[in-house]
A and B are shown apart, each in its own frame.
Chain A
Amino acid sequence: MKKKNIISAILLFGAFIAVLTGCSNSKSSSSSSDSNASGKITAVGSTALQPLVEKAASNFQKDNSKISITVQGGGSGTGLSQVQDGSVAIGNSDIFAESKDGIDAKKLVDHKVAVVGMAPVVNKETGVKNLTMDQLKKIFTGKITNWKDVGGKDQEITVVNRAEGSGTRATFEDAVLGGDKAVKSQEQDSNGTVQKIVESTPGAISYLAFSYINDKVQAVSINDVKPTDANVETNDWPIWSYEHMYTKGEAKDATAKFLKYMDSSAVQKDLVGKMGYISIHDMKVQKDAKGTVSNK
C-alpha cells in the first residue's frame, strides 16, 4: 500500500515536471516550428476569423490526415505578435500588420482569406433605420446624444464600443470617425455580448459583423445604402475589412498547403459564404494598408 502511494506520488511528480517543461519547451523550441516538417500548424489570433479557420481546418484534415492544425483565439494583437515571434505558424488578424504598433510588417507575409462587412446596429425601439455618415460620426464622437436629433424617439443614446485595439473597432473607426476620437463609453469585447446588450438596452447603438446581425437588433443603413454583401463587394458600403492570415516569411510545407486550401474554391465558394463572410474572390475593389480603395 505504501509502495503504491510512493509510486503514484512519483508519477504525479513526473507529470508535474512534464507539464512544466512542456510549457517552457513550447516557447523555446517554437522558433523552429516554422519549418513544419512534422505537419503541425498552429493558427492563433482574431476571434472574428476563428470559426472560419476552424471549420476549414477540420475539412482540410479529412483529406490530409498527416497534418494537424490547431486553431486558437486570443485576439488580433496576440496573433500578430506571436507570428512575429515565430511562436506560431499563422497569425490571424482583422487588421493590417502595418497598422499595429510593435509589429514589423515587412517580416510578415499577408494572406487575405475573406472579407467581413460590419454595420451599425441600434436597439429596435429607437425608431432609426438610416443615418448619414456625418450623423453616425457625431454619435460615436459624442456630439449627438439624443435620438430625436437624428429623427428618432426622444431618448438618450447609449454608445457601446468595442475594446480599444480590437480589429473590429479599428475598422469601424477608420471608416467612420476619420481620425477623430470616439467618446468614452462602454466597451465590450465580443460580437455576442454586443448583440445582446444592444438588443436589451433602450437607446443603445453599436456595430456588428454582418453574421451577428439578426432580427432582434436594427441594422442601420448609411446614406440610404443597405449593409449587404453586394454593397461591400463594390465598396458602396464602406465599413469592411479583410481577414488576414499572416506567416513569417513565405509559407512553407504544410502551412503553404493549408493556406492554398483557404484560397481554393472549396473554401471560398462554399464555406466562406455559409459562415457569414464574403469571399475574397467576389471583391470588385481592393484596399491597401493605408485604407485606400481601388478597383481590382
Chain B
Amino acid sequence: MDATQAALLAKVQPAELYEQPLVTNNRDFNWVTDKICRIVETKTPTWWWICMAVALMTASFTGLGLLWLVSTGVGVWGLANPINWGWAIVNFVFWIGIGHAGTLISAVLCLLKQGWRTSINRAAEAMTIFAVVCAGIFPLFHVGRVWYAWWLFPIPNSNVIWPQFRSPLEWDVFAVSTYGTVSVLFWYMGMIPDLGVLRDRAVQRLNKGVYEGGGAIANKLAEGMDLFRKNFYAILAMGWRNAGNHWRNYEMAYLVLAGLSTPLVLSVHTIVSFDFALAVLPGWHTTIFPPYFVAGAIFSGFGMVLTLMLPLRALYGLHDLITQRHIDNMCKICLGTGSIVGYAYIMEFFIAWYGANPYESFAFINRAFGQYWWAYVMMFSCNVFTPQLFWFKKVRANAALVWIMSIFINVGMWFERFVITVTSLANDFLPSSWGYYSPTMVDILTFFGTFGLFSVLFLLFLRFLPLMPIAEVKFVMPQADPHGHHGDQKGGQH
C-alpha cells in the first residue's frame, strides 16, 4: 500500500465489514477435532439408549404394517376406487422431499462456496439417505407383489417385455435410485478423511495405553472398544493417510460429485412432480408443478435439518459450531422457499380462474372448501404463515421457537402432498364416480413407523460416524486465514 492509498483510506474511513464468524468463541483447530471425535469416542449417553429404544419400537410398526400387507395384499391399505393413490404416494413424496436439503447443502452450496454449509452438511446428507430409504418403502410395497419389484428395472427377460418407459413412475425409479446412489457416494467420500482421524486417534490411545482410572473390567472394555474402532474405521477409511496427493484427489472428486449432483437437486423432485403433472386430472395437470415441488422439497428438507440439528446442538453442546448465523441462514432458506410455495398456492388459484376451465376451477375450489377443507387449512397455515415469521430476527434467535416451527413446516408439507394427491382423485370429472378416502390402521402404522426407522438410522449415524467434516470446518474458521482481513480484525492466536 503506497502513501496515496493510505492517505485516501484515512480520508474515506471505510466502514468495517462485520461478518459473523462460522466458528465462535475463538476456538483452535484441536478443539474442533476433539469436539467432533469425542461424540463417537465417549461413553454412549443415556438419552441415546432411551431414544434408540423408542425408535426401535416405533420402527417395528412399519415392519408390522408391511408384514400385514405382504401376507394379505395391497387391499389392507385404504386405497379404493377412485382414490387409488393414497398415503403411500403421499408418504413417498413427503420423505423424498425431505431428502432434498442434503444434496442442496452438499452440492449447490459447495459450488456457491457457502462456508456455513460445513457444520451441517454431513448430518444433512445422512438425513437425505435415510429419508430416501423411508421414501423407497412406499412405492416398493405399493407394487403389491414386492418380490417382483425388480421388474421395475429394464432387465432382459423371457417375457420379452420392458417397463413402460413412457410412464413418469418408471422415471421415478431411475431418478430416485440415481439420487440415492450419488447421495451415498457423496456422504461416504466426504467422510473418509474424518474416518482416518478417528482411526488414528484410536491407534494413538492404544499405543499410549491410556486405559486407567476405571475398574479393571472398565479399562479392558475401553481398550476393546478402541480395538474395534481401530479396525472399523481403518476399513472404512480405505487407507487414507492425509497425504498431499490424497487431499488433491479428494478435493477434485468432491468437486466432480458436487457438479454431478447439482442437477439432481432439481431433477428428482421435478420427475416426482411429473407423476402428477403428466396425468390429465384437474389440479394435477399444471406446468407450475416442477418448480413448485422443488421449492417445497427444499423447504421441507431445511425444516427437517432444523428439527434434527437444534436438539443435537443442545445435547452435544455444539453452539460454537452451529452458530446463530447457521440457524439464521437455514431460517432464511425456509422463508424463501416457503414464500415460493405460498406464491404457487395462490398462482394455482389464479390460473384455475384465468384458464376458464370449469373442471380446473372446481378442483381448486373443492380443495379449499370441499370435503378435505381441513387438510387445506393445515397445509396453508403451516406452509405459508409459519415461514413468514422468519422475517423477524427475534424469532430466528429463539431456538425453541424455530424448532417448533420447523415441525410445523413438515406437518404442513405432509398435508400439501395429501391435498394434492387425494382431493384431485376424490372429485374428478364425473360426480357419479366421486369418493372419500380414509387411511386404514395399516397405513397409519406403516407411516408412523418410518419415523422410527429414520430415527434408528440417524442415531446409529450419530454414534458411529463423524457428525461434521472436521477439515472443512477448519477451513472456514477465522484462524484458517491468519493474514486475511478477518484474521487481522478478530482472529484467534495464530
| Chain B binds chain A | no
